[in-house]
A and B are shown apart, each in its own frame.
Chain A
């Protein structure tokens, strides 16, 4: 500080910088921003640029910070860096103006500034940077410049300090980073190496790497609680300890040696130790590299895995186990073993003493003796009592002595099974057996007594059994009877089904023969039909050609015996053939022969049904019943078939008649209409030519001729429709009658419009009929109703359905029209029959005839009810059968 006469504002500036800004010294950009703000506040809103002198004299000064710059981007522009290059030469404070003619002045005017005050920042005559004050508007006043000058050394020194601090900090950061990198590399090596690494200090483990942890089975935290001796086989400890002491002392001894280590589970593993001494936390430490020289870590892991499964299995079976290393006298025990002895697993270190405490003195010494006597590979099984707390229990011990050459380790594998429960059970079982024996003894006695009682009972029951058998036989007979009646029903139903299905006559008769043959075993069945007063075999079953010929021959010779007298007086009762036939039967090797005449309803003889055969156990009454039913069925079949044939002939004739009718209709259609047309045509032509010359009367005659021809044309057309109605085949389907009525009413709209009609239409449901024909019916009935209500001011037409006392649905159309006299009811449905004059109600008189014809074809009926001047009701039924 050269000048001590600082004004109040400058003092405030310094105070502010020291109190508020120095704290940012380690954050250079922020620090400089703060200084610039303070400076700006001091000088009064000028543009201030702080720069740092570059170490490289060739390069322009590096811009350190720009504050409140009018256009911040200018710092990056050429005039600005040019100014900096020029200012670099200045050693003292200088002021430039835009109009002073200097190079800097010119650049200032280019940038739009009025003037610039430049203050070099020096420390011990060395430039460390520049402080530039730009002003666009006013010139700097002299007090400002003085203030700047006074503060220059202060600013220089704090900037210098800040810069130095900054470079120190960078150095520290750099070093720290390098150190960190080294440590990371070290860690990577230590973690990734296959070798186990532990560090021992004062006999305790203070560091372990993952490989060491994997090798010995301890977690990192557990490691830190271990002593070095914990991981070394006790037999080897002395050797290891000697090496440790010598190494720490600095003796020149080999780095590596072989020994045995013990993992967490107590398993002993051969290992190579590579030891060296190092500095750790400022003290000497023992660095140990461990390598499993059995080189079977992976195999061991697999083994341990399977052993774990084994242990688990044993645990589930409640089998305890332990391994006893004979030389080192230490135990590796399973959780279950601890529990068997009444301890929490691994709550104590298991030793020979604990084993002693659990066994009786005597048992212990015996056990020891037998173990000592054991050779490698021997197995010993013993049952011994042991103590769990105060309780005495029993266990079975299986011990096996094993030895491994490579490591020279001898150990015992022991499995312990608690058999206390077994022992107790066995005792109980013995007790139970004894009581059982007693019971058997007494029971045997009782049984003997009952046996005697039973023998006498059995004798009685034999009698009962005989009675039962008799009853059973009776029952069996009844069952047979029932079965036979069932067979007869089957025979009937099969025959009738075939008949219904339209099976041929011959086939049905064969069915009857086959069925009867089934019902009567070992039988021959034959149907003989009457033909020209002679009997001829028609169908048979169970007969050979020879037998057939034999029977026919005999029958030919004895026609008169079979049919005594005329056919009408045939005895309808079945009978055994007369004595004369015994010879035939014998010759044909038959023992019986039944016959039954086949008689039609009108007592006409149609043939004979014959049943022959060997003697069976079937009672004769049944055979005759079968024969009787068979004959009746055959008669039914023959009669029905005959009727069918007659019907066919009839229907054929009907078809022919229909064809004739069709031809007639054709001729009516064509031949009758033609002359009518001609009359009409020529009359029309005549009328056209002479109408003007005719008198009123003659014109009337001409019109009457024309009207008559047209009316006759309509009659012929209607007659044609009527004849067609009867010939068209019915195409029946399910029809919604309500929908049909709706469509009819729509079609009749021309007759309806302009009239006052009240319609009552009930739900009508569906019918099974020919759609077109039924529609014709409804058109006729409804249009009739419309026609005959024409004279009514307010017409009422009611369409509905009722059920009659036969359960049939009766559909009706009722009106309040002119009605009719019931005396003429019979004329309503005749062709061309009319109850009204044409000038009253037009029509050809064919409509209701059509209705009747259609309804009749549908298997229904039409009915009419009327009262003169009081409405009419037409109803009809339809065949409800769908097929």
Chain B
């Protein structure tokens, strides 16, 4: 039986996906990341439907969300997750290039666990991913699984 992927990354830009995975790899955290390209796919994954109907059951330990995505955007995904008792306990980190105050405020209002603005400097980004991984994946004790 395959191990449950532990991190879900929702990001539409292929360059960003590659760089993010690179950053995770640099920090040796890249083994368990599933990537989706829009908000709809992210929700499909979380609810095990559509292309993810057959995926092994279980919630990811962390969701990394880009805000600006086609179809369903990051804030909508966040809102849906925090409304659902089964999903609301999954830590969500918004990973975006937007510094818009309204985005930050809205994200926190919806109950995001962290908001990270991707720095232009790649080494800084690698560092940020490292800290993120250490805290949310290694240190944080996930809540008991809701079935």
Does B associate with A? Answer: yes
Contact indicator A674/B101 (Cβ below 8 Å): no
Chain B residues with Cβ below 8 Å from A666 are 98, 100
- A670, A681, A713: most-surrounded residue (chain B CB, <10 A): A681
Any A CB within 8 A of the CB of B37: no
- Interface 0/1 of B90-120, CB less than 8 Å to A: 0000001111110000000000000000111
B105 vs chain A, min Cβ distance (A): 13
Contact indicator B100/A682 (Cβ below 8 Å): no
Any A CB within 8 A of the CB of B3: no
Any B CB within 8 A of the CB of A425: no
Any B CB within 8 A of the CB of A717: yes
Contact indicator A681/B122 (Cβ below 8 Å): yes
Q: A670-B68, A681-B15 are in contact. Are A710 and B98 (CB under 8 A)?
A: no
Contact indicator B100/A680 (Cβ below 8 Å): no
Name the contact of A669 in the complex, choosing from B13, B22, B97, B122 (C-beta under 8 A).
Answer: B97
A641 vs chain B, min Cβ distance (A): 36
Which label, helix, strand, loop or mixed, suits the secondary structure of the A interface?
A: helix
- B119, B120, B121, B125: most-surrounded residue (chain A CB, <10 A): B120
Name the contact of A713 in the complex, choosing from B13, B68, B120 (C-beta under 8 A).
Answer: B120
Q: A669-B99, A670-B98, A710-B120 are in contact. Are A677 and B125 (CB under 8 A)?
A: yes
Any A CB within 8 A of the CB of B54: no
- Interface 0/1 of A652-696, CB less than 8 Å to B: 000000000000011001100111111011111100000000000
CB-nearest residue of chain A to B19: A681
Name the contact of A720 in the complex, choosing from B99, B118, B119 (C-beta under 8 A).
Answer: B99
CB-nearest residue of chain A to B96: A670
- Interface 0/1 of B4-40, CB less than 8 Å to A: 0000000001011001001000000000000000000
Contact indicator B22/A670 (Cβ below 8 Å): no
Q: A670-B68, A682-B19, A684-B123 are in contact. Are A677 and B118 (CB under 8 A)?
A: yes
- Interface 0/1 of B59-84, CB less than 8 Å to A: 00000000010000000000000000
CB-nearest residue of chain A to B120: A713
Any B CB within 8 A of the CB of A825: no
Contact indicator B120/A685 (Cβ below 8 Å): no
Contact indicator A685/B22 (Cβ below 8 Å): yes
Any B CB within 8 A of the CB of A724: yes
Contact indicator B99/A677 (Cβ below 8 Å): no
CB-nearest residue of chain B to A684: B122
CB-nearest residue of chain A to B15: A678
Docked Cα-Cα span, A676 to B120, in Å, equals: 7
Docked Cα-Cα span, A51 to B76, in Å, equals: 124
Using C-beta atoms within 8 Å of the partner chain, give the interface range for chain B: 10 to 19
Contact indicator B19/A677 (Cβ below 8 Å): yes
Any B CB within 8 A of the CB of A709: yes
Docked Cα-Cα span, A676 to B119, in Å, equals: 10
Chain B residues with Cβ below 8 Å from A673 are 97, 118, 120
Chain B residues with Cβ below 8 Å from A665 are 100
Using C-beta atoms within 8 Å of the partner chain, give the interface range for chain A: 20 to 34
B55 vs chain A, min Cβ distance (A): 29
Contact indicator A680/B97 (Cβ below 8 Å): no
CB-nearest residue of chain B to A688: B26
CB-nearest residue of chain A to B14: A678
Chain A residues with Cβ below 8 Å from B98 are 666, 669-670
Chain A residues with Cβ below 8 Å from B101 are 724
Chain A residues with Cβ below 8 Å from B123 are 684
Chain A residues with Cβ below 8 Å from B118 are 673, 677
Docked Cα-Cα span, A710 to B125, in Å, equals: 13
Chain A residues with Cβ below 8 Å from B121 are 680, 710, 713
Tell me which residues from 405 to 451 in chain A have a Cβ below 8 Å from any Cβ of chain B.
Answer: none
A31 vs chain B, min Cβ distance (A): 107
Chain B residues with Cβ below 8 Å from A678 are 13, 15-16, 19
CB-nearest residue of chain B to A674: B97
Chain A residues with Cβ below 8 Å from B97 are 669-670, 673-674, 677
Tell me which residues from 560 to 584 in chain A have a Cβ below 8 Å from any Cβ of chain B.
Answer: none
Docked Cα-Cα span, A684 to B22, in Å, equals: 11
- Interface 0/1 of A710-724, CB less than 8 Å to B: 101100010010001
Chain A residues with Cβ below 8 Å from B16 are 674, 677-678
Name the contact of B125 in the complex, choosing from A681, A709, A717 (C-beta under 8 A).
Answer: A681
B25 vs chain A, min Cβ distance (A): 10
Docked Cα-Cα span, A682 to B120, in Å, equals: 11
Name the contact of B122 in the complex, choosing from A674, A677, A712 (C-beta under 8 A).
Answer: A677
Contact indicator A680/B99 (Cβ below 8 Å): no
Docked Cα-Cα span, A596 to B16, in Å, equals: 75
Chain B residues with Cβ below 8 Å from A683 are 122
B95 vs chain A, min Cβ distance (A): 12
A688 vs chain B, min Cβ distance (A): 9
Docked Cα-Cα span, A681 to B21, in Å, equals: 11
Chain B residues with Cβ below 8 Å from A675 are 15
Chain B residues with Cβ below 8 Å from A713 are 119-121
B116 vs chain A, min Cβ distance (A): 13
Chain A residues with Cβ below 8 Å from B119 are 677, 713
Docked Cα-Cα span, A713 to B125, in Å, equals: 13
Contact indicator A669/B125 (Cβ below 8 Å): no
Tell me which residues from 700 to 747 in chain A have a Cβ below 8 Å from any Cβ of chain B.
Answer: 709-710, 712-713, 717, 720, 724
CB-nearest residue of chain A to B99: A669
Chain B residues with Cβ below 8 Å from A709 are 120
Docked Cα-Cα span, A678 to B19, in Å, equals: 7
Docked Cα-Cα span, A681 to B14, in Å, equals: 13
Docked Cα-Cα span, A327 to B18, in Å, equals: 149
A727 vs chain B, min Cβ distance (A): 10
Docked Cα-Cα span, A817 to B20, in Å, equals: 45
Chain A residues with Cβ below 8 Å from B15 are 674-675, 678, 681-682
Chain A residues with Cβ below 8 Å from B122 are 677, 680-681, 683-685
Docked Cα-Cα span, A677 to B126, in Å, equals: 12
B104 vs chain A, min Cβ distance (A): 12
Chain A residues with Cβ below 8 Å from B96 are 670
What are 28 of the A-B contact pairs (CB < 8 Å)?
A665-B100, A666-B98, A666-B100, A669-B97, A670-B68, A670-B97, A673-B97, A673-B118, A673-B120, A674-B13, A674-B15, A674-B16, A676-B120, A677-B97, A677-B119, A677-B125, A678-B15, A678-B16, A680-B120, A680-B121, A681-B19, A684-B122, A684-B123, A685-B19, A685-B22, A685-B122, A712-B120, A720-B99
A677-B119, A677-B122 known, 17 other contacts, Cβ within 8 Å: A665-B100, A666-B100, A670-B68, A670-B98, A673-B120, A675-B15, A677-B120, A677-B125, A678-B13, A678-B19, A680-B121, A681-B122, A682-B15, A683-B122, A685-B19, A710-B120, A712-B120
Per CB-CB distance, the 8 closest pairs between chain A and chain B, nearest first, are A713-B120, A684-B122, A681-B19, A678-B15, A681-B122, A673-B97, A680-B122, A670-B98
Q: Which residues does B use to contact A, with CB under 8 Å?
A: 13, 15-16, 19, 22, 68, 96-101, 118-123, 125
